[in-house]
Amino acid sequence: MLGSTVYTLLLALFCNLIVNNAWSREIEVQLTYQVQWGDLDIAKAEAEWVFKEGTYTMSGASQTLGIVKKIRDFRGASKLSGNIIEDAFQPVKLQITSVSGEQKKQAETTWNPINGAIKTKRHPKIDKEKVFPLRQKLITSSIDPFSAMLNTLRTIQKIGRCEGTYRIYDGLRTAILSFHDMGVQHLIKDRPSAFGGSTIKCGVVSKPTGGHQIKNRWRKKNKEKDNVVGFISELESGLFIPVRIEVATPIGKIISRLHMPSLIVTER
């Protein structure tokens, strides 16, 4: 369970900023998140985003650390490209790779910008005995989870509230991803490299609809909206970034913090 929770957390971390009118100029943002269970460093995620002229790209990498690496050595990578159309983020291509122990999974998904057709190449093929089936009706009209989060951050920028529901697909899984506003909260700087200040608190619920493991004794049938909570702050004018993400698990809370000294914003 811990390995799958970390994977979900790291996946979410790759998509974590929105820049006001970023597509009217080129902006590059580099981010690093430190993931901890109590005082133990258990994972790290890095991402680079580039926004320019109505397009966006992302490349990211993640890995487990310390005790979790000994239990489950996980490494992941993602590449995303998309278009910004009528103030909405629409994916064009998503490539994801994950390596857990000796098991490697790859998926490349494309969204046709003309007719909306979605196509995926996977290796290896999905094991239908281990995961729930992927249904085409749930893939159709879906977007990737990173773009869904960008659209939610855009909503925060516009109305100051966290809200939105999306059908998402990453090439291996489908889900319904919902965001719920939980008000404003002042974060105390609890680590030397962490953020301290005012944030918008956002509850996140991911309801699996296909591709997830059939046998998972840790999965709750009814997830609460505070099982995953993001804290978003406007670090610069128009720059909204989750500075902290908390995931409640049966073995305790996993917290990821934006490493403030590593944050780099470049405008051209």
Residue ranges per domain, the chain? 2-263
Asked if 147 and 217 count as a contact pair (C-beta separation under 8 A), the reply is no
Whether 158 has a pLDDT exceeding 70, the answer reads yes
- Alpha-carbon distance 158 to 155, whole Å? 5
Give the residue-averaged pLDDT of 77-102.
92
Q: Which residue has the tokens 């983020």?
A: 89
Give the residue-averaged pLDDT of 89-95.
96
% of the chain beyond a pLDDT of 70: 87
Window from 5-14, 32-41, 148-157 with minimum mean pLDDT: 5-14
From start to end of 101-225, where are the E strands?
103-111, 118-123, 164-169, 174-187, 197-210
- Alpha-carbon distance 207 to 174, whole Å? 9
The one-letter amino acid at 40: L
The one-letter amino acid at 227: N
Describe the crossing of helices 145-159 and 2-13 by its angle, rounded to 10 degrees.
60
Of 44, 27, 26, nearest to 35 (Cα)? 44
Of 35, 96, 73, nearest to 249 (Cα)? 35
Give the residue-averaged pLDDT of 92-118.
92
User: Who wins on pLDDT, 23 or 242?
Assistant: 242
Q: Name the region of 138 (left: φ>0; alpha: ψ -120 to 50; beta: rest).
A: alpha
Whether 220 has a pLDDT exceeding 70, the answer reads no
**pLDDT given for residue 5 in this prediction:** 45
Give the residue-averaged pLDDT of 94-110.
92
**H helix runs in the chain, sequence order:** 2-13, 66-71, 136-139, 145-159
Q: Which helix (H) or strand (E) holds 229?
A: strand 228-236
Which residues have CB under 8 Å from 223's CB, separation 6+?
205, 206, 207
Give the residue-averaged pLDDT of 229-248.
89
Q: What is the pLDDT of residues 195-217, one digit of tens each?
A: 999 999 999 988 899 988 877 65
For residue 180, name the pLDDT band (cuts at 50, 70, 90).
very high
Give the residue-averaged pLDDT of 178-202.
95
- Alpha-carbon distance 128 to 130, whole Å? 5
